[in-house]
Structure 1
């Protein structure tokens, strides 16, 4: 009888220990999962954070930002005649007034109407009424679009957003592709010469007498 009682007490002690261990384990798990929850950021599908979790895509970035860049250029473009007059007076002051960024030159949004002259490799000279003969204005129509003027047009896209220089450069090229898809997709370059064109776009001010404009709007007449 004593032996049976002892075994029963031992069994109860073991069961109590197991319950205690289970309780401690449950509390520990609750604490751990609670801490994990506090340290966890909810990622909404399609959000900016969601995109960052994925492999970086320059084209996704460009498709997200191109519309804002285009709107900025359209809203802030200066008439080419006005710009030329101010450049002739003070190049730096005009660049500071109308352009964004520095480095090798500010990027200026500009608008004009003129006649398309002959071109090569998708770059066409435009004759603008009121411009002197020694003033050159050219537009990029593709297929190849050079430069990072669209990327730098607003001053809001900076190198610090990206992992490295390659991503930063790739975004510039991707924005050029987004622009081409927007306004140059069906352009017949073989028929451009002699046509009247309305252009709104951007160029980097390096040589005040030679503008290479990347368009965001191109209307042929």
Structure 2
């Protein structure tokens, strides 16, 4: 015959640990997991309403900005640029018009060389399909790292904005030929004096 005291003690050992557990329904667990960041949705949400108007309103003539950068990056940054904080690259929003003197598409990171009156050297304009850097994101003062959960979200937002910029210029970039006159608006990002200066365009128009 079993000792009732033994049985009660055994039950206590089983029940006590369970009293410290929390049973959560599967639906509640799934609801507690935050949804993944929709970088494309984020970029599309600000592109037409904020990003393009900012580029249009803030652009300065490339004929002013590039010589200023070459002469004194910090001074140019103070006069024409923006950066998120100390140590971040300077970003400059520029526009210009000139004749295409070269179209470089051997690499997927394609470029145009555009001769702009008033500049000794052609302006290099990225035409992709591979666009280097995060010039578009970094030029926008309302896109701040502190608004994202982590570096991955911030990087993905940059990629999505760059993708929209390429989408905006891709068809014209394919059609443009040496000798054409183009008008462009975009961003130049510069980390240190002597960096190669390239425009990441958000618009690229070919003269008829």
Residue 95 of structure 1 corresponds to 77
Pairwise CA distance, 1:219: 1.0
Pairwise CA distance, 1:159: 1.6
1:124 to 112, 118, 130: 112
1:137 to 93, 112, 123: 123
Residue 169 of structure 2 corresponds to 183
When structure 1 is superposed on structure 2, of 64-73 and 206-215 the one drifting more is 206-215
Checking the alignment, whether the CA contact within 8 Å between 1:204 and 1:211 is kept in structure 2 is yes
Pairwise CA distance, 1:209: 7.3
Residue 60 of structure 1 corresponds to 41
Structure 1 outlier segments of 4+, above 6 Å: none
Residue 53 of structure 2 corresponds to 71
Ranges in structure 2 where 5+ consecutive residues have no aligned partner: 1-33
Residue 199 of structure 1 corresponds to 184
Pairwise CA distance, 1:190: 6.1
Pairwise CA distance, 1:182: 2.5
Checking the alignment, whether the CA contact within 8 Å between 2:42 and 2:157 is kept in structure 1 is yes
Checking the alignment, whether the CA contact within 8 Å between 1:109 and 1:200 is kept in structure 2 is yes
TM-score (norm 1): 0.67
Question: Aligned Cα RMSD in Å?
Answer: 2.1
Residue 4 of structure 2 corresponds to none
Checking the alignment, whether the CA contact within 8 Å between 1:202 and 1:215 is kept in structure 2 is yes
Pairwise CA distance, 1:129: 1.6
Pairwise CA distance, 1:191: 4.3
Residue 37 of structure 1 corresponds to none
* Number of corresponding residues: 166
The structure richer in strand per residue is 2
The structure richer in helix per residue is 1
Checking the alignment, whether the CA contact within 8 Å between 1:139 and 1:213 is kept in structure 2 is yes
Ranges in structure 1 where 5+ consecutive residues have no aligned partner: 1-52
Residue 35 of structure 1 corresponds to none
- The 1:58/1:195 distance shift into structure 2, 3 A limit, reads same
Checking the alignment, whether the CA contact within 8 Å between 1:136 and 1:209 is kept in structure 2 is no
TM-score (norm 2): 0.71
